[in-house]
Amino acid sequence: MKQVVHISAECFPLAKVGGLADVVGALPKYQRAAGWEASVVMPYYHLPKMLEYSWQRIASGEFNLGQYVLQYGVYMLDAEVLGFTVYALDIPGKFDRPGVYADPQGNFYGDGPDRYLSFQHTVLKWLDGWEKLPDVIHCHDHHSGIIPFFMKFGMGFDRFREVPSVFTIHNGRYHGSFGWNMLYAFPFFDWQMRSLLEWDGVVNPLAAGIKCAWKVTTVSPSYLNELKSDSQGLEWLFESESAKSSGILNGIDSEVWNPATDPMIEVPLKKSVRKFKSSNRAALIKEFGLQKSAPVISFIGRFADEKGADLLPEVIHQTLSLGMHVNFIVLGSGNPWLHHALNSQQQHYPNQLGIFIGYNEALAHKIYAGSDFLLMPSRVEPCGLNQMYALRYGTIPVVRRIGGLNDSVTDLGDAEGSGFMFSHASVGDILHAISRAVDFYADAEEVLAVQERIMQIDFSWSRSAQDYISLYENMT
Ligand code: ADP
């Protein structure tokens, strides 16, 4: 059986910050079902969630890293636990912390480059000890972007020269760049090839991954096109590497996101979509103390510019001060000014605005199940999973026409549409889309017909997992 090893900084449910974790926590399961052995290598963070599992320590080692000796241990989680094997590299001093990229108060750890360089270096040192190397090494985002370079040009890593590598970009905004002063953390490598690591005079792990991997993928086809015209200086690189690049739309884990079996929602789906939506909606309205007859428009996500979350206060203000009969629910965290803005708006509109500042997986499931609409005013959306979860739970997406949203939602103005779409991340465009949604909501039978239809759309991983496997098979 052929084997792929995924290398990632996140993996659901062990360590999740965003969509990267969801993908890496689901794709291997579906690849195994499709006949490839798939496993994940990640850091052994000291996150409470991660330490809950019973890990087995299977290996340890050490090697020289600049002036010091780096010691590592390898923990394993058997395939029965998550549906695929996970190897977590324990690197004391680097990952024995309670957060992934930031501490629990949200302060970013300042030594990201050192942590992820040592992780990548350790991954290859440890894999090099395997009797048979994987058939494909699949790296995800900048945290593992330098691995394809090491595989080609790192000294002592000759066994990897013919192993195909894939580099998947989940979020092209983060390049993970750092200066050459980090050279101490690199293995020796062919110095003549150093320009492959560089972009604009600094080491750029995202650029290095794009240049050195055998194949590059982005998490949706539209996103790949957008990166060619907007990727913080890498536009030309995306253009010039387009022959080996492709976009593969993410799927969703339809076991975790199954309205019929989801233990986190109030009422699971039996036969009637009408009953499923109305009972989960009622529970959500009760939980937040909102108006019963008004449609519920929700937002779930990081309060980051990319998500357009900063537009929410103005959208909420204009909608509610105009007297529109709607409810809003916002779940997320990030930018502190937004926490304050939403908190104070909530005081003004206690029965039309529900907010939860923070990360809450169970609440997210309840919101997908109980809302009428899900708003995504993203400025950038590499794939976006929220809209797919929403569709699966019969919640109509109201989304900007961008990236993966463009590849997974169609406008209800067209035949067989699935949501409301708008062009710009601007308050005016969002308000227009919301008013279309509210008008549409008035026809309960039409709403039900659309809910029934969108819940049938197949976003399961089976299709995309097969696309990745075809990509691997063309290289092996
Ligand atoms: P990104 O990776 O850019 O943050 P995605 O749409 O790819 O965006 O994935 C976001 C994932 O994180 C989804 O599973 C979404 O439900 C979840 N999520 C985001 N914010 C929260 C939150 N505050 N509480 C619970 N889940 C959240």
Å from CA of 363 to ligand 1 middle: 12
Confidence of residue 460 (pLDDT cuts 50, 70, 90): confident
Which atom of ligand 1 has the smallest separation from the CA of 171?
Answer: 3
Residues near ligand 1 with C-beta < 6 Å? 18-19, 22, 300-302, 331-333, 359-361, 364, 383-386
Q: Bigger pLDDT: 461 or 164?
A: 164
pLDDT tens-place string over residues 403-422? 999 999 999 999 899 999 99
What's at 347, amino acid-wise?
Q
Other Cβ atoms less than 10 A from the Cβ of 336: the count is 11
Please write the tens of the pLDDT for every residue from 334-393. 989 999 999 999 999 999 999 999 999 999 999 999 999 999 999 999 999 999 999 999
pTM (two decimals): 0.92
What's the gap in Å between 356 CA and the centre of ligand 1?
14
Quickly tell me which residue has 């519920």 as its tokens: 296
Give per-residue pLDDT as tens, 304-318.
999 999 999 999 999
3-class DSSP assignment, residue 423 = coil
Domain over 273-454 is classified CATH 3.40.50.2000: yes
**Which of these, 238, 263, 268, 470, lies nearest to 370 by C-alpha position?**
268
**pLDDT over 90 (residue 66):** no
CB contact at 8 A, 29 and 161? no
Alpha carbon of 251 to ligand 1 centroid (Å): 14
User: HEC states along 209-262?
Assistant: HHHHCCEEEECCHHHHHHHCCCCCCCHHHHHHCHHHEEECCCCECCCCCCCCCC
Angle (CA) 131 137 143, round 5°: 120
Q: Torsions phi, psi of 4, nearest 5?
A: -115, 140
Q: Which of 386, 393, 409 to mutate to test the pocket of ligand 1 (most atoms within 8 A of CB)?
A: 386
Which residues are CB-contacts of 251 (< 8 A; sequence separation ≥ 6)? 26, 27, 30, 388, 459, 460, 461, 462, 463, 464, 465
Q: Is the pLDDT of residue 73 over 90?
A: yes
Mutation test of ligand 1: which of 142, 385, 391 has the most ligand atoms closer than 8 Å to its C-beta? 385
Tell the residue nearest (CA) to atom 26 of ligand 1.
Answer: 361
Tell me, in angstroms, the distance from the centre of ligand 1 to residue 40's CA. Answer: 21
Ligand 1 atom with the shortest distance to the CA of 383: 7
Percent of the chain topping pLDDT 90:
95
Domains 3-251+461-473 and 273-454 share a fold: yes
Q: In the predicted model, what is the mean pLDDT of residues 452-460?
A: 95
Q: Which CATH superfamily is domain 3-251+461-473 in?
A: Glycogen Phosphorylase B; (3.40.50.2000)
175-200 pLDDT, tens digit each? 999 999 999 999 999 999 999 999 99
Q: How far is the CA of 300 from the centre of ligand 1 (A)?
A: 7
Q: What is the pLDDT of residue 68?
A: 87
Ligand 1 pocket mutation pick from 16, 168, 223, 300 by most atoms within 8 angstroms of CB? 300
Q: What distance in angstroms lies between residue 389's CA and the mean position of ligand 1's atoms?
A: 10
Considering only CA atoms, which of 162, 135, 168 is closest in space to residue 244?
Answer: 168
**From ligand 1's centre to the CA of 360, what distance in Å?**
10
Instruction: Please report the sign of the dihedral spanned by the C-alpha atoms of residue 385, residue 391, residue 394, residue 397.
Output: positive
Report residue 318 as tokens: 């204009």
Residue from 10, 11, 17, 22 whose mutation best tests the ligand 1 pocket (most atoms within 8 A of CB): 22
24, 302, 329, best to mutate for ligand 1 pocket (most atoms within 8 Å of CB): 302
Q: Which residue's C-alpha comes closest to atom 20 of ligand 1?
A: 301
Distance 359 CA to ligand 1 centre (A): 9
Phi-psi region of 414 (alpha: psi -120 to 50; beta: other; left: phi over 0): beta
Give the span between the Cα atoms of 260 and 265, in whole angstroms.
Answer: 10
Report the separation in Å between the CA atom of 332 and the middle of ligand 1, taken as the mean of its atom positions.
8
Ligand 1 atom showing the smallest separation from residue 306 Cα: 3
Q: Whose CA is nearest to atom 15 of ligand 1?
A: 386
Q: How confident is the model at residue 67 (pLDDT cuts 50, 70, 90)?
A: confident
Domain boundaries, the chain: 3-251+461-473, 273-454
Q: What are phi and psi of 440, to 5 degrees?
A: -60, -35
Q: Which atom of ligand 1 is nearest to the CA of 22?
A: 14
As a whole number, mean pLDDT of residues 90-118 equals 95
- Rounded CA-CA distance 125/137 in Å is 14
Atom of ligand 1 lying closest to residue 385 CA: 6
155: confidence class by pLDDT, cuts 50, 70, 90: very high
CA of 455 to the centre of ligand 1 (A): 20
pLDDT in tens, 324-336: 999 999 999 998 9
Atom of ligand 1 minimally distant from the CA of 20: 2
Centre of ligand 1 to C-alpha 304, Å, is: 11
Q: How confident is the model at residue 60 (pLDDT cuts 50, 70, 90)?
A: very high
**Interval between CA 474 and ligand 1 midpoint (Å):** 33
pLDDT tens digits for range 229-260: 999 999 999 999 999 999 999 999 888 899 99
With the most atoms of ligand 1 within 8 angstroms of its CB, the residue from 220, 355, 359, 400 to mutate is 359
Could you give the CA distance from residue 462 to residue 163 in angstroms, rounded to a whole number? 25
Residue identifier of the C-alpha nearest atom 7 of ligand 1: 19
Residue 312's pLDDT is what? 98
Q: How far is the CA of 72 from the centre of ligand 1 (A)?
A: 31
Q: How much of the chain exceeds pLDDT 70, in percent?
A: 100
Q: 353 C-alpha vs ligand 1 centroid, how far in Å? A: 20
